[in-house]
Amino acid sequence: MRLLILGGSTEARQLAERLAGHPGFSAELSLAGRTKNPLPQALACRIGGFGGAEGLAGYLNDNRIDVLIDATHPFAERISENAVRAAKITGVPLLTLTRAPWAAQAGDRWTEVADAGAAALAIGAPRQRVFLTVGRQQVPAFEIAPQHDYLIRTIDAPEPMPALPFARLLLARGPFTVESERDLLRDERIDMLISKNSGGDSTRAKLDAARDLGIPVILIRRPQASARHIFYDLDALLGELDRRRHAGSPAERGV
Ligand code: NAP
């Protein structure tokens, strides 16, 4: 069974590790090519956009893909919509692998907002020390609130640097520990944390640290997904792939 995995996430990396060398699947991983030094991957990779939904549909046909798996980051909205459209155009089944969103616990001081612009406005007028962990693409949205002291953590530096006179950059890639996040929030005298509701374990420590220290969090809600077959669990997705593989094999159909 030929698989195309749309990746760029921890889930896609984990799926690639499980499929590498599997005799029943031939899988390729697709990356957008945004990260300068991507981590090594267990499967063969193709890098770069397809040219919209039609381009992706063409790729699925040309490469005789049996199942398309969208394992992109939950905030990668455009490629996920392209995947839905390409699956409709070609009839190739689409399965989505993602992480469950984070849910508030007792002691959390979360304000949930729709997007980065709303997050910038939700900080309020008085100058605050803000820990900004929204990914480099969303940073320019904070130029509408330039009065704050931002500590911006990203994997690669935003290009160009945003017009934020009191911003500093911290380049780092998770996972992070609760202890190190607590130290950072304390040492930097952070008043407020801003994050996307990405879900998953590798970056949730900052939320635990903020709760411990009573620091308010502005959390950007996930975009609404229009995909239908959504898996929050890697084993469940692998089980579904196996089921489809057996259902599709001549022996199982009694041929
Ligand atoms: P996006 O806005 O949804 O996609 C923009 C365009 O990039 C797409 O239309 C597509 O180009 C291309 N693209 C995106 N993902 C691709 C993939 N896996 N393979 C091939 N082309 C891809 O995406 P984004 O938010 O810029 O994210 C880019 C990548 O970074 C994604 O793979 C995502 O998993 C990863 N990522 C995103 C975030 C985030 O917060 N957005 C965080 C961590 C990692 P064409 O239309 O030309 O096909």
Return per-residue pLDDT of the chain as tens, 255 residues.
999 999 999 999 999 999 999 999 999 999 999 888 888 899 999 999 999 999 999 999 999 999 999 999 999 999 999 999 999 999 999 999 999 999 999 999 999 999 999 999 999 999 999 999 999 999 999 999 999 999 999 999 999 999 999 999 999 998 999 999 999 999 999 999 999 999 988 899 999 999 999 999 999 999 988 888 999 999 999 999 999 999 976 554 444
Domains of the chain by start residue, with CATH: 2-100+223-246 (3.40.50.720), 110-220 (3.40.50.720)
Whole-Å CA distances, 241 to 27, 56, 67, 93, 244: 12, 21, 8, 11, 5
**CA-to-CA distance for 151 and 85, rounded, in angstroms?**
38
- What pLDDT does 253 receive? 46
Distance from the CA of 34 to the center of ligand 1, in angstroms? 8
* 216, 128 contact by CB (below 8 A): no
Tell which atom from ligand 1 comes closest to the C-alpha of 81: 3
- What pLDDT does 254 receive? 47
**For tokens 């499967």, what's the residue?**
43
Distance from the CA of 36 to the center of ligand 1, in angstroms? 14
Q: Is the dihedral of CA 103, 10, 79, 64 positive or negative?
A: negative
Q: Is 82 in the pocket of ligand 1 (CB under 6 A)?
A: yes
Distance from the CA of 235 to the center of ligand 1, in angstroms? 24
- What pLDDT does 202 receive? 84
Amino acid found at 17: E
Plot region of 8 (φ>0 → left; ψ -120 to 50 → alpha; else → beta): left
**CA-to-CA distance for 74 and 97, rounded, in angstroms?**
9
Q: Is 31 in the pocket of ligand 1 (CB under 6 A)?
A: yes
* 15, 241 contact by CB (below 8 A): no
**CA-to-CA distance for 130 and 97, rounded, in angstroms?**
32
pTM: 0.90
The DSSP symbol for 56 reads H
**For tokens 């910038």, what's the residue?**
120
Tell which atom from ligand 1 comes closest to the C-alpha of 7: 18
Q: Which of 11, 30, 60, 72 to mutate to test the pocket of ligand 1 (most atoms within 8 A of CB)?
A: 72
